[in-house]
């Protein structure tokens, strides 16, 4: 896959940041509340270097081994977040290589991550992935199970729950994504109230639907294609 030059990347990133700022203005929100996570999956390690040079805090990867390989190829000061499905048997490797895991969707995985984080002597920040669009094709806990999952997560001493994450169903109808994001926001508000925890992070919105996500309260958009081109 042909990689962009840094200047080409910078022009794309400036455009995305301007779109985020415009969406925030439209929604009456402060743009400082919405982080741009650069999704570097399938792109070479240089993509993470570009993101760091541009000043982004973190990159997102969806496979553990791919991220491990890239991290050894570049030594940039940037955080790594896991946004793809994680199997329990890879929990230890994920804890060793990621600053945060966003794709946590089962009690079994919580247990494995907690044990691995405790062994590593660290507190692992996580997000709970919720299937807020009720999409049979997506991972994520069902909304009806979210409260039980959060209760279990809050009992794990080596995990810190920062908030929730979702992926909208693929659809030609923009109302589907909008409904999904509003649903995640409502689930977050309900759970934050019930458990008296902030759950500040709402990781939602990608290249194609980040405007709707920001309108619904996203605090982090995960953007790959709009920054690095198609995969």
Ligand X SMILES: *Cc1c(COP(=O)(O)O)cnc(C)c1O
**Is 223 near ligand X (CB under 6 A)?**
yes
CB 206 within 8 A of CB 224: yes
**Is 156 near ligand X (CB under 6 A)?**
no
CB 161 within 8 A of CB 151: no
User: Residue 203 Cβ, how far from ligand X at the closest point, in Å?
Assistant: 8
The single residue among 62, 156, 166, 218 that binds ligand X, judged by CB under 6 A, is: 62
User: Residue 119 Cβ, how far from ligand X at the closest point, in Å?
Assistant: 27
Stretch that binds ligand X, among 13-21, 73-81, 184-192, 219-227 (CB under 6 A): 219-227
**Is 84 near ligand X (CB under 6 A)?**
yes
> Strands 58-61 and 201-203, how do they pair?
unpaired
Binding mask 27-56 for ligand X (x = CB under 6 A): ------------x-x---------------
Could you give the dihedral angle defined by the CA atoms of residues 104, 108, 113 and 115, in that order, rounded to the nearest 10 degrees? Answer: 160
User: Residue 37 Cβ, how far from ligand X at the closest point, in Å?
Assistant: 8
| CB closer to ligand X, 39 vs 117 | 39
Binding mask 177-206 for ligand X (x = CB under 6 A): -----------------------------x
- For the chain, list the strands marked E by DSSP: 35-39, 58-61, 79-82, 100-104, 124-129, 159-165, 201-203, 220-223
φ, ψ (nearest 5 deg) of residue 111: -60, -45
| CB closer to ligand X, 65 vs 225 | 225
**Is 207 near ligand X (CB under 6 A)?**
yes
| CB closer to ligand X, 173 vs 196 | 173
Residue 6 exposed, middle or buried by CB count within 10 Å (0-12, 13-18, 19+):
middle
φ, ψ (nearest 5 deg) of residue 205: 105, 135
Residues 6+ apart with CB under 8 A from 79: 57, 58, 59, 99, 100
**Is 133 near ligand X (CB under 6 A)?**
no
**Is 222 near ligand X (CB under 6 A)?**
yes
Which residues in this chain contact ligand X in the complex, by CB under 6 A? 39, 41, 62, 83-84, 167, 206-208, 222-226
């Amino acid at each position: 896959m042909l990689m962009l030059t840094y200047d080409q990347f910078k022009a794309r990133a400036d455009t995305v940041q301007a779109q985020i700022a415009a969406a925030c203005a439209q929604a009456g929100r402060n743009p400082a509340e919405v982080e741009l996570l650069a999704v570097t999956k399938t792109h070479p390690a240089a993509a993470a270097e570009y993101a760091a040079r541009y000043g982004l805090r973190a990159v997102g990867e969806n496979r553990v081994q791919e991220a491990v390989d890239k991290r050894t190829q570049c030594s940039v000061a940037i955080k790594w977040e896991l946004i793809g499905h994680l199997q329990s048997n890879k929990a230890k490797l994920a804890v060793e290589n990621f600053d945060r895991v966003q794709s946590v969707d089962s009690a079994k995985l919580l247990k494995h991550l907690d044990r691995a984080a405790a062994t590593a002597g660290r507190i692992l920040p996580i997000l709970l992935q919720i299937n807020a669009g009720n999409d049979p094709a997506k991972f994520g806990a069902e909304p009806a199970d979210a409260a039980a999952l959060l209760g279990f997560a809050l009992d794990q001493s080596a995990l810190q729950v920062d908030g929730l994450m979702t992926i909208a169903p693929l659809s030609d109808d923009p109302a589907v994504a909008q409904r999904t994001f509003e649903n995640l926001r409502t689930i977050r508000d309900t759970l934050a109230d019930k458990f008296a925890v902030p759950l500040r992070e709402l990781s939602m919105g990608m290249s194609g639907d980040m405007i709707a996500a920001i309108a619904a309260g996203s605090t982090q958009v995960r953007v790959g294609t709009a920054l690095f081109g198609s995969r």
